[in-house]
Amino acid sequence: MNYLALEAWIEEEMRTRHVPGLAVAVIQEGELVYARGFGVTGLGEQAVPVTADTLFRVGSVTKQMTAILILRLVEAGLLDLDRPVIDYLPEFRLSDAQATEAITLRLLLAHSSGLINQADHYGSRDPQGLRRYVLHEISKLPVWYVPGQVFSYSNNNYNIAGLIAETVTGCSYDDLMQEYVFDALGMSRTTFDPLRAMGLGLAMPVMRGGDGEWSPLPVFPENTVNHPSFFAMSSVRDLAHLALFHMHRGQFGGRQVVRADLVDEMHRPQQRNYYTSRLAAGLGIFSNVRKGVPLLTHFGDISSYSADIITVPTHKAAVIVVNNNEFPIYDILYKILDQLVPGTEATGDTDAPTEDRELWQRLVGVYYGPFCGQLEIAVEEEQLILRHNGTRRALRRHADDLFACLDEEGTHVATLGVVANEGDIDIVTVNNNFAKRLNRVPKRWEPTAEQLSAYTGTYAHHEIVSCEITAQEGRLSVTDEHGTVELAPYREHLFLHPHFGTYLFEVEADGQAERLLWSHFLPMKRRETP
């Protein structure tokens, strides 16, 4: 491994992309062989050099940790993966009574409960905030799919699991994680407490303003509701211990922290993901195969941070990267991984199955999903095609239940998945974002000029994500970091993005929009009216 060349490349990329701080750790032959920080913890005079022990928010990497807690409680006989959640939380309710009865811990940890995602970075700092949210707010959210039917990523799955752990033990989630996970795995610096993290040394989030200048994020994310799903702060050295736990089937420091068969179950694919890769959801972690090599991974991001751990148990190798601003994290991960683990390059594409005209006819119809908007599948001039929020793609069969979505040059730009291959097809996916068949297609809504004007303004999810909504010549447009695009009206107050996502405006009694919900998932509050 040429670490000097790697370090020079990382430092140049950090300068180009305005990344203040980053850290990398490498495990080879079951030993931590490299751990180093790059850059500084933030912007300004108070920033100090990043080390392998500097803390970063690690986002959804937290889910691995919560899953380990749940498996330890399973091993202790306090929980069962396949018992209904209401056995542990009798007062728990969802908006769908049948789903309330059906959801189990296994379905929660494998992201197949049917619940929609949620990711509010700010909220209650009260330890009781998690209980209040799970018991009183989740019941108001829609259940999009039958539990166990499909993979549907949701932070709420892990928030519910965290409250179950609290309930059966009588201890707070944070205290449970300290005892059952952090202490057990020697993760001495990992914490949920921002004050403790700042005392230990925390890399701070940064943001880019409308003037193009970089500055510290003015408000630090905190919300006890989401501690179990994406709020841990950790260092690459501590995260290396997590990787060692996985590659040694639950052992760490000469102790069996979680029974080996339970760790095997954690790693076992539980729910299919509809990509051309072999990505599948386990319990708190994803399995995949790259260049013929099986690996375990879980990406995380929150605010301006991102993190990932890629573990290759068969080779006793792992790579960990954390940073505090957008960065091509997988460029580093794979650059190192390819030197650690010699893969077997594919010799070429396997032959795709022949087109099935009967399958085409079963697919024909209109679908809608919270992240992908409206999809229409049709047969035109002897070709299966996909219309997605105004774009048209030819579909070419890639596997029995997968189609390649092709642009005008014939390039594979997205993947359509078919959830059912017998009988009626009610669910399809685009890049693993699910959409349900519509039995009745809503009549296209035509907003008035007055309504369009009421939507205009700048909306933001605190200081983390923002967009500007403008109206001109009877059309609504959105401008964000990716540019400006026109939104298509769909039904009252709901608009479709031409590429990805939906925009639902929440209108007050005076007719003015005060909030929008992006993809039925991320709330954005209006900041100003032009």
The two structure tokens encoding residue 399: 């596997």
Q: Which residues pair with 391 in a beta bridge?
A: 388
Pairing state of beta strands 206-208 and 214-216?
A: antiparallel
Q: Rounded CA gap, 389 and 329, in Å?
A: 30
Radius of gyration of the chain (CA): 23
Instruction: Map tokens 């960990």 to a residue.
Output: 320
The closest alpha carbon to 101, from 231, 93, 271, 109, belongs to 93
Does residue 321 contact residue 329 with C-beta atoms inside 8 Å?
yes
Residues with Cβ within 8 Å of 200's Cβ and at least 6 positions away in sequence, in order, are 53, 55, 189, 191
Length of the chain: 530
Q: How far is CA 363 from CA 293, 308, 408, 518, in A?
A: 34, 36, 22, 27
Residue of 414, 441, 418, 437 lying closest to 428 (CA atoms): 418
Q: What distance in Å separates the CA atoms of residue 513 and residue 524, rounded to the nearest whole number?
A: 11
Task: Write out the E strands in 29-67.
Answer: 31-39, 56-57
Which is catalytic among the residues 60, 113, 154, 519?
A: 60
Cβ neighbours of 231 (radius 10 Å) = 23
Neighbouring CB atoms inside 10 A of 95's CB total: 13
Task: Report whether 161 contacts 70 (CB < 8 A).
Answer: yes
Assess contact for 50 and 44: CB atoms under 8 A: no
Taking a C-beta distance cutoff of 8 angstroms, is the pair 60, 306 a contact?
A: no
How far is residue 184's CA from residue 327's CA, in Å, rounded to a whole number? 31
Q: Is residue 60 among the annotated active site residues?
A: yes
* Contact yes or no for 189/183 (Cβ under 8 A): no
Looking at the annotation, which residues are catalytic? 60
